[in-house]
Amino acid sequence: MIGAGVIGLAVALELSMRGANVRAFDSGNPGGAASWAGAGMLAPYLEEPPEALAGFLAHSLAMYATYARDVHAASGIDPELQLNGILRVARDEWEMERLRERSTRLAGAGVASTVLDSRATVELEPAIDPHISGGLLVHGEGYLDNRRLGRALRRACERAGVRVAEQTAVTRVEADERRVLGLQTSAGFVAATTVVNAMGAWASQLPGVPDDCVPSVFPVRGQMLALQAPKGLMRHATYTDDVYVVPRRDGRLLIGATTERAGFDARTTAEGIHGLLERGLRVAPALRGFTVSESWAGLRPATDDGLPAIGATTLEGYFLATGHYRNGILLVPATARLLADVIEGKPNAFAGTFALRQEANSLNV
């Protein structure tokens, strides 16, 4: 396994539980890159993605309650899953009308949601500005603590026998004309018959594989900050078109996130943090007195067509699990099952759906 973010760790855990002998290498800290930086929202219905992805997102959400319970049991670390719905807030009548339409479309797809007037919205989340027009609570969505999930997956992997190497970079895939032979790492050569590239935003940066096996993944920076508020002040992940607030059980409120093409630069900027605070306090002015306890940035693994790359490649033994962009935390359970099924040659309703796209890839050659 190359890369031990939540995607690499989850695939490693699944393969190990199915009997494989798995090693995972991370050039930094396992669970420490985008997987640490994310907000942890489990929100398949926030946007309207292509149909294939929409189905996969909903499928992964449906797996989450069992998955989180199993990872908790296997690791002793609770990822603090909360599936109490995500609240969209409308700041004016035009936005409210869009939320009503969205509710109707969701109902058509069998997803329950409740349209709330301004009073009911503020009753649900009292920190929200009472001058908003209303809200929409989409049932079944929610959030978890992705930093805890990363730690839990690592612990579960190690307990299941996966050898996780941190600060160990993979520098090259070794292959003959037909198949994978192993990996060059900063700690030496490791022979392997099956290799999974789960390098997140860095997935296209791996030497030694044929051009047509290189995914068109690129980094999109997201900056975030946290406020330290009293426990329980906010209970729902709360979302507007330009900012969101996501609670943690210890009282922290995460405010995010920017969407920037800044290469591999994962710094925060004055402008980024200023904008988040301004937009966050506009929707929830009651937060203005709390301490800013942390700010950070991470690199989302984006692709040209917005779909992840999960599956086999033309190089025998070389697989991809990357390009999860804004939904990598949500897609952990479904990705682990899908890729393990593909590697084992087992049927999976999504097999082939996210295989490497040559047209998209050729844009980056």
> Where do contacts with ligand FAD occur on this chain (CB under 6 A)?
2-8, 25-28, 32-35, 37-41, 169-170, 198-202, 222, 224, 256-257, 298, 300-301, 322, 324-330
The CA distance from 106 to 41, in Å, is: 18
Nearer to ligand FAD, 65 or 115 (CB): 65
| Partners of 242 in beta bridges | none
Nearer to ligand FAD, 15 or 122 (CB): 15
Least distance (Å) from ligand FAD to the CB of residue 307?
13
Both tokens of 2, joined, read 């190359």
Least distance (Å) from ligand FAD to the CB of residue 130?
26
Least distance (Å) from ligand FAD to the CB of residue 278?
17
Nearer to ligand FAD, 47 or 211 (CB): 47
Contact call for residues 95 and 241 (beta carbons, < 8 A): yes
Contact call for residues 113 and 105 (beta carbons, < 8 A): no
SS3 content of the chain, % helix, strand, coil (to 5): 35, 25, 40
Using alpha carbons, list the distances in angstroms from residue 277 to 14, 195, 223, 254, 272. Answer: 39, 42, 11, 11, 9
Least distance (Å) from ligand FAD to the CB of residue 97?
26
Least distance (Å) from ligand FAD to the CB of residue 154?
11
Nearer to ligand FAD, 17 or 198 (CB): 198
Nearer to ligand FAD, 186 or 193 (CB): 186
Least distance (Å) from ligand FAD to the CB of residue 333?
11
Q: Give the β-pairing of 318-322 and 195-197.
A: parallel
Residues with Cβ within 8 Å of residue 89, at least 6 apart in sequence: 121, 128, 132, 134, 135, 238, 239, 240, 283
Nearer to ligand FAD, 7 or 195 (CB): 7
